Amino acid sequence: MKRVIFLLLVLATRSTFAQLPEFTTVKELPDPYPVDANTWNNIDKGLKASFVSIDESFLKSAAPKSEQLRISWKDKTWKGEKIHTQVLLWSKFKVENVKLTPSDLIDAKGNIIASKDVSANFIRYVLTDHAGDLKSGCGIPKGLDTSLTADLIDDITVLPIEAKTSRPVWLSLNVPRDAAAGVYKGTLTISATNEHSISLPYEVEVLNHTLPMPEKWSFHLDIWQNPYSIARVHGVKVWSNEHFEAMKPYIKMLADAGQKSITADIIYDPWNGQTYDVYQGMVKWVKKKDGTWHFDYSNFDKWVEFMEGFGINKFINCYSMIPWNLKFYYYDEAAGKNAVLTAKPGEEAYKSHWKNMLIDFAQHLKKKGWFEKTTIAMDEREMEDMKKAIAIIKEADPAFKISLAGNDHPELYNDLVDYCVALRYELNKDLIKERREKGFTTTFYTCCTELYPNTFTSSKYAEATWLSWYALNKDFDGYLRWAYNCWGPNPLQDTRVGTWLAGDGWFVYPGARTSVRFERLIEGIQDFEKVKIIKKHLLDQNKSDALKKLDDVISSFEFETVNKDNASIFVNKAKEVLNSL
């Protein structure tokens, strides 16, 4: 009950902590390569609208082709599931005050899914870039080709359609868990100044299955959070009451996606300034005048308690004993200023610096009741360095848990309670099962390395959904991505940041705006949960033919066979099989 009250307060206060003006309103950039305006010559006057595929991204400056249009939308869903489709609006002339109004959905028996459970939102265009002939999205050169891509799902209720432009719309339905099974019909109405209203009818069949609440999902989602980016765009002091209020809607969105892990930076700048907003460290390291150490965990404690309030509580992953620059910042009381130690694993200075902290940290965690869920986490570090760091961890407290996101390291299988390997590594299913029986978690990740499948803003939408089906095929427990909200300087306009392909740094946008990529990722996670439930049912009912049919389609999700164009083919075929069972 306490968590329910807390989440109701989140919803009630969502709009009370506005971000800075430059992060409030989406102002789309000019199209760097607009389509020839003459292609609109054969388009009739007036606002047009149609259902279109959720797998297609439409150019802002082009009208759709007739073969891309769909007369209606029909879908199947479980109770408790969130489903979606895409609508496209386009006009040869400017249209003012376009408004989207979803109706209630009603079945033949008069059962209702209220319009409050339906949302229709304009998708906004942001700048992305394209890999071209590059083999990786890491360390990219300047000057890559750019384009506008539809990704940001806005929360504004009215928007003009500029002349000779298209505007996609995201139509989403949150099916209540107490909805009666049946076929429901609803309508999306599009109205505008001096235009006839357009009604788009659709049909959704609610099946007699119920998806668990996100906190009960088995899929292990670990998307790293950056509270410092939120402080910047909202213009608030880090760890102030205003900061925590501003973070609530973002973390609520993440919790609703099934997030399991808390990202905690226990040192300053563990990733050597690779993010626009540097991780500032949740633990204050103080070297006292007498040479002893004091560690202030107050910000760490606030953060963990805050995240646990949303039900995100499986792991507290603490980064990092091996920062990318091997620099360790602290406050030196004797000198009266901040200082930095540069040391690497294997050196006595490194061991002394960390052992003192880890002993103290373990004691603090045990007092708070967090020791069993806390891991000392490392990210893509060298094997020899990790072995030396692990030795110090175990010396400080043999019961400390360890996590790693990185390469395949057989030597560490028994040491890592939370182990995430890059997509290119395929672990033995017997190993994953053995680890699961021990209570260990085994996942995979994508980063800038893989051009596809991935979640760049230039990626095909279905790639985000493909990832969870891949996890099913390889028996991984879930998926990790390094950045939920590591925004660049102008995230509402430009998704490029650093030296990675655009979109690598965030799924969601300032103002707690979601994205097509994030919604398609959640879609795949829901599929994962549905498959687990259906497979158990088929096994219990001894329906071997149906089980084989499902297993066969799952086995098609291979890294070697997916390319930049075909993820949707695999996903749609698999969903067709799943919905038939």
Question: Quick one: 202 and 276 in the same domain?
Answer: no
Look at residue 359 and tell me if it is in a domain.
yes
What burial class does residue 45 get, using C-beta atoms within 10 Å of its C-beta: 0-12 exposed, 13-18 middle, 19+ buried?
exposed
Look at residue 17 and tell me if it is in a domain.
no
Question: Quick one: 303 and 397 in the same domain?
Answer: yes
Look at residue 13 and tell me if it is in a domain.
no
Question: Quick one: 415 and 527 in the same domain?
Answer: yes
Task: Give the CATH number, domain containing residue 84.
Answer: 2.60.40.10
Strands 401-406 and 374-379: parallel
Question: Quick one: 243 and 204 in the same domain?
Answer: no
- What's the pLDDT score for residue 2? 44
pLDDT beyond 50 at 253: yes
- What's the pLDDT score for residue 19? 81
Dihedrals phi, psi of 522, to nearest 5 degrees:
-60, -40
Last residue of a domain, one of 178, 210, 242: 210
- What's the pLDDT score for residue 10? 47
- What's the pLDDT score for residue 4? 45
Last residue of a domain, one of 166, 190, 210: 210
The predicted-structure confidence for 486-511, as pLDDT tens digits, reads as follows 999 999 999 999 999 999 999 999 99
Question: Quick one: 140 and 287 in the same domain?
Answer: no
Q: What is the pTM of this model?
A: 0.96
User: Where does the pLDDT of residue 17 fall: very low under 50, low under 70, confident under 90, or very high at 90 and above?
Assistant: low
- What's the pLDDT score for residue 8? 45
Look at residue 438 and tell me if it is in a domain.
yes
| Best CA proximity match to 190, nearest among 71, 53, 48, 74 | 48
User: Where does the pLDDT of residue 21 fall: very low under 50, low under 70, confident under 90, or very high at 90 and above?
Assistant: confident
Look at residue 4 and tell me if it is in a domain.
no
What percent of the chain has a predicted confidence (pLDDT) above 70?
Answer: 97
SS3 200: strand
Phi-psi region of 317 (alpha: psi -120 to 50; beta: other; left: phi over 0): beta
Question: Quick one: 361 and 417 in the same domain?
Answer: yes
Strands 315-319 and 261-265: parallel
pLDDT beyond 70 at 13: no
Cis peptide before 453 (omega within 30 of 0): yes
Looking up tokens 């069949």, which residue turns up?
205
What percent of the chain has a predicted confidence (pLDDT) above 90?
Answer: 95
The predicted-structure confidence for 532-568, as pLDDT tens digits, reads as follows 999 999 999 999 999 999 999 999 999 999 999 999 9
**CA separation for the pair 487, 218 (Å, rounded):** 29
The predicted-structure confidence for 61-91, as pLDDT tens digits, reads as follows 999 999 999 999 999 999 999 999 999 999 9
Q: What is the mean pLDDT of residues 99-105?
A: 98
pLDDT beyond 90 at 437: yes
Amino acid making up residue 338 = N
Which DSSP string do the residues of 281-313 spell out, in sequence order? Answer: -SSEEEE-TTS-EEEE-HHHHHHHHHHHTTT--
Question: Quick one: 325 and 232 in the same domain?
Answer: yes
The gap between the terminal CA atoms of the chain, to the nearest Å, is: 35
Mean pLDDT, the chain, as a whole number?
A: 95
Q: What is the mean pLDDT of residues 331-345?
A: 97
Question: Quick one: 78 and 115 in the same domain?
Answer: yes
Look at residue 11 and tell me if it is in a domain.
no
pLDDT beyond 60 at 7: no
Task: Give the CATH number, domain containing residue 521.
Answer: 3.20.20
pLDDT beyond 50 at 149: yes
What's the domain range around 147?
31-210
Look at residue 23 and tell me if it is in a domain.
no
- What's the pLDDT score for residue 22? 87
Question: Quick one: 386 and 492 in the same domain?
Answer: yes
Number of domains in the chain: 2
Question: Quick one: 172 and 255 in the same domain?
Answer: no
Question: Quick one: 182 and 230 in the same domain?
Answer: no
State the angle between helix axes of 2-12 and 241-256 in degrees (0 to 180), rounded to the nearest 10.
110
- What's the pLDDT score for residue 380? 83
Last residue of a domain, one of 176, 210, 244: 210
The predicted-structure confidence for 193-221, as pLDDT tens digits, reads as follows 999 999 999 999 999 999 999 999 999 99
Question: Quick one: 120 and 139 in the same domain?
Answer: yes
Q: What is the mean pLDDT of residues 95-102?
A: 98
Cis peptide before 147 (omega within 30 of 0): no
User: Where does the pLDDT of residue 444 fall: very low under 50, low under 70, confident under 90, or very high at 90 and above?
Assistant: very high
pLDDT beyond 50 at 12: no
